[in-house]
Chains A and B, each alone.
Chain A
Amino acid sequence: MRTLLDMYERMAVIRRTEKAAFDLFMAGLVKGTTHLASGHEAVAVGTAAALRPDDYVFATYRGHHHAMAMGASAEECLAELMSKATGVCRAKGGSMHLTKAANGMLGSYAIVGAHLPMAAGAAWSAKLRGTDQVAVAFFGDGATNIGAFHEALNLAAVWKLPVLFICENNFYMEYTPIGAVTAVPHPAADRAPAYSIPAVVIDGNDVTVVRDAVAQAVERARAGEGPTVIEAETYRHHGHSRTDPGAYRPKEEVERWLKHDPLDIARAHLEAQGITPDDVRRVDERAAAHVAAAVDAAKNAPDADPAEAFTDVWADGSATWRS
């Protein structure tokens, strides 16, 4: 993703994949739950654009956009959601655990905050191995109130680890506004000073702003200057999960944020760069065709093999626990 147009296309694919995931869920083809990331695309894509292929990313159950920003295909993600053998985790993970380890996307974790220490650990590992890789943890505003967040920030600071803590502040945990349960106005950024970690609050819906802020933090990390907290303000276009209509959010607030759409903002930037609306439309059409083909392919893929239930507990591929 070298250009703004590349980033735009990745976001457009994610947006349409999320829409497809929602439709497939409503059609009963996706079981369990989904936590859609429509509205959050710029945080993931802007970050991915500032990383190197050998860097590490850890994400949450709201992680479709992270997996796809890091190069998981729409098809393998949708196949995972639909319990298909071709799913990115061979249908053993599901929506909440999309992972693309080959691309450094080391998992989506559904225990709030648990992956922040892991990202610190991956950064520690880079330091131990003498590489200049960095690790990124994406997490929600809600995750800033769990102990693992604080333990991870402190450890990353005292060990000067090359890790970025990127909070997707969408202003709600599940249904409760974050402000109602948090002692500071900026749930991530206001905590960072307690650990001597520099922090910025940015517009998480502007992919160029995200990319630039992340690039700066990455540079610091690679130079051995330690962690950074980035609080990217954003908003989810859907409810928290499944069919939650998000009725707890004031209408004016929703409208304001829908007008501050990451795709619209990127389009405005593209226009300013002299990219014509026709060029953008072609990209939109390509994204739509790509996702439509991914939906078809995922639908037609073979179902997960039940025998898979007994593979890959252990590194040798087995599930043997006794003689």
Chain B
Amino acid sequence: MAELITYREAVAEGIAREMRRDPDVVCLGEDIGAAGGVFKTTVGLFDEFGAGRVWDTPISEQAIVGAAMGAAMTGMRPVAEIMFSDFLACCWDYLANEIPKVRYMTGGQVTVPLVVRTANGGGLGFGAQHSQSVENWALTVPGLKIVAPSTPADVVGLMASAIRSDDPVVFFEHKGLFASKGAPAPPDHVIPLGKAAVRRSGADVTVVALAATVPLALTAAEELARDGIDVEVIDLRCLIPLDMSTVLESVAKTSRLVVVEENPYQGGWGGTVVSVVAEEGFESLDAPIKRVAAANVPLPFADALEEKVIPTVDKLVAAVRTTVAY
């Protein structure tokens, strides 16, 4: 087996592969050039591609994403970095009103093939303004594709699809996964957007997860397996397009569903998943659906408090047990 690579290395690798094959791919963001990004997710790009394709920007989130949009409308494929996903709020106009709507409101006259990459999620003790999982923000806006990979190989394969997509993509990289390791992506690895992965197949209960809740769900599944509970773990990989076929098929088999999501319960993406299951998979269900999500409070700083708020293996194990015992 080839050497393992980290999730963080996979980000740079995924971008580099696309920059090699398509000269229209350019990167912009704060400190992404010679510095390699505050999370070191763009290390090597500046050396390989130079200042002409890897652009350091001022701290101007609106200018970063707005300029990416203008460039995307005129023939480029920009990859914009927003350092922490919390900062998407500073350029939210572009994600809420401009990028997802311009194709539609012009009657299809323009396309916006760009990627906004951003470090998302908690568990690292960064406090309330640097720890949020905000994938649900993007999910509130029709017109954005949303990717949130859980493994290094998926980072590369989904980055390829995101950059090649003629639609705008918000690409959430999970901060808690940056140091995690996995098999490197094979050459030309491309994972289509909107295809979930069944990470563990099981007969008793379906657990739907995304990004950092995927390894969490797999750990919980191992623990539950010791008690004879056979968990199927689905990694959605994308929120839009949303692979409901895979979820509905799984629920048809297991008759039980638990969703584990890091964004808050209020307005979290699990609400969309379970509403489709309630509408279209109701008859498959033998137990009420459960959602394990972040609590509806800002994220606290101290580990002991943060753990109370975000999903943990213990919380998921408890939720699955309740569902199975119903």
Contact = CB atoms under 8 A, between A and B. Distances in A.
Contact of A315 (B71, B78, B166): B166
For the residues of A in contact with B, the DSSP-based class is mixed
A128 B243 CA distance: 37
A119 interface: yes
B105 interface: yes
Given A99-B110, A106-B110, A118-B69, A158 B242 contact: no
Given A111-B97, A117-B70, A125-B71, A322 B276 contact: yes
Interface in A39-97: 56, 58, 87-93, 97
Contacts of A101: 106, 109-110
Nearest to B76: A125
Interface stretch (B57-65, B128-136, B211-219, B284-292): B57-65
A87 B167 contact: no
Interface stretch (A146-154, A224-232, A284-292): A146-154
B76 A89 contact: no
A322 B71 contact: no
Contact of A122 (B55, B58, B70, B103): B70
Contacts of B73: 106, 118, 121-122
B88 to A, nearest CB: 15
B142 A313 contact: yes
Given A87-B107, A114-B98, A151 B58 contact: yes
A311 interface: yes
A17 B186 CA distance: 59
A13 interface: no
Given A128-B26, A147-B62, A312 B107 contact: yes
A313 B63 contact: no
B271 interface: no
Of residues A121, A126, A154, which shows the largest number of chain B Cβ atoms within 10 Å of its Cβ? Answer: A121
Interface in B4-49: 26
Given A93-B106, A118-B73, A155-B67, A128 B62 contact: no
Given A88-B107, A154-B58, 19 more contacts: A93-B107, A107-B102, A109-B98, A117-B66, A117-B67, A117-B70, A118-B66, A118-B73, A121-B68, A152-B66, A154-B60, A155-B60, A155-B67, A158-B58, A311-B108, A312-B104, A316-B166, A320-B241, A322-B244
Interface of B: 26, 52-53, 55, 57-58, 60, 62-63, 65-76, 78, 93-94, 97-98, 102-111, 113, 142-143, 165-167, 194, 240-246, 276
